[in-house]
């Protein structure tokens, strides 16, 4: 038997807060679903286009405070955006993206209206770490731009990509952002120590960043990496600069993440660093 929703508050014609016997408090979306509705009215499940369960009190309050500040056109656009993301990734999204990404885009648009610049210092790292998410984010930025007649800066696609990655991986947004910041810091150390400028669009940069990402993942998961016999001793003698730099990077990762690292991480980092160091000092690679 179909259970009905009971209206708690109509936010506008297309969005309302309701309660349900099984789901608790929810947000309901549907064309005209909130028109003329008042507290206590019942709505059949069949009349609901979208239903978002508000899982915790903090999230409930955030969403309820956010929606009345937004136009119905913008809310509809963000639902279209999130539907596009769902179709492109092909996996379930963490429902918090409805709150987080909507809030983020609304704030960005407000900043642009005020003539404020939107800068993303970790754009290159985000593009390399999350290529699929970035590609989808660029599509989203284009969709929003077309609908609202506003050009979103490239850096904004990087921020949207982090929201998408967070929703896919169930990794918190702050943790995803921490990856980008940590890798940017590590790359900066390498450039200073080796006296090189790494081209953020080069295959060398892409390979190095992906290796760092997997190294961080291994630290997070406590996974061990097998070291070929005697390779550490050989590399230490053959490439002392890169070997010592590799250990410096490992220590920065350990200090930032507050996690131990396997000795073999420095060995494989040395190999990557040596490839970078083979380029002449001061050149762009």
Taking only the tens of pLDDT, the chain with its 285 residues reads: 567 899 998 888 878 889 888 888 888 877 788 888 999 999 888 778 777 776 667 767 777 778 778 887 898 899 889 989 999 999 888 878 888 899 999 999 999 998 888 888 889 999 999 999 999 999 999 999 999 999 999 999 999 999 999 999 878 888 888 889 999 999 999 999 999 999 888 888 888 998 999 899 889 888 887 776 678 888 889 999 999 999 999 999 999 999 998 888 999 899 889 988 886 444 444
Distances (CA, A) of 151 to 10, 63, 113, 137, 164: 32, 26, 11, 14, 20
Q: Which domains does the chain have, with CATH numbers?
A: 5-55 (2.30.24.10), 72-171 (1.10.1790.10), 195-277 (1.20.58.1950)
Number of CB atoms found within 10 A of residue 33's CB: 22
**Runs of H (alpha helix) within 71-202:** 72-89, 97-113, 123-129, 131-148, 154-169, 173-194
Phi then psi for residue 275, to 5 deg, are -65, -40
CB-based burial label for 254 (10 Å; 0-12, 13-18, 19+): middle
Predicted TM-score (pTM) of this structure: 0.77
């Amino acid at each position: 038997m179909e259970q009905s929703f009971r209206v708690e508050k109509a936010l506008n014609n297309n969005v309302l807060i309701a309660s349900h016997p099984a789901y608790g408090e929810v947000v309901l979306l549907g064309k005209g679903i909130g028109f003329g509705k008042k507290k206590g009215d019942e709505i059949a499940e069949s009349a609901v286009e979208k239903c978002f369960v508000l899982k915790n009190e903090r999230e409930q309050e955030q969403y309820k405070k956010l929606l009345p500040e937004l136009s119905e056109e913008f809310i509809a656009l963000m639902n279209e955006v999130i539907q596009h993301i769902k179709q492109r990734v092909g996996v379930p999204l963490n429902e918090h993206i409805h709150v987080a990404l909507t809030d983020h885009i609304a704030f960005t648009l407000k900043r642009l209206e005020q003539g404020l610049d939107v800068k993303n210092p970790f754009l290159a790292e985000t593009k390399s770490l999350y290529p699929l998410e970035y590609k989808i984010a660029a599509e989203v930025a284009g969709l929003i731009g077309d609908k609202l007649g506003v050009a979103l800066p490239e850096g904004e696609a990087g921020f949207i990509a982090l929201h998408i990655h967070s929703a896919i991986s169930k990794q918190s947004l702050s943790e995803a952002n921490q990856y980008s910041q940590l890798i940017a810091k590590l790359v900066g150390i390498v450039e200073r120590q080796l006296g090189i400028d790494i081209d953020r669009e080069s295959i060398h940069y892409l390979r190095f960043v992906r290796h760092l990402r997997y190294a961080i993942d291994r630290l997070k998961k406590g996974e061990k990496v097998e070291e070929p016999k005697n390779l550490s001793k050989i590399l230490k003698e053959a490439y002392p600069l890169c070997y010592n730099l590799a250990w410096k990077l490992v220590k920065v990762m350990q200090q930032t993440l507050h996690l131990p690292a396997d000795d073999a991480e420095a060995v494989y980092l040395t190999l990557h660093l040596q490839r970078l160091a083979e380029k002449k000092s001061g050149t762009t690679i």
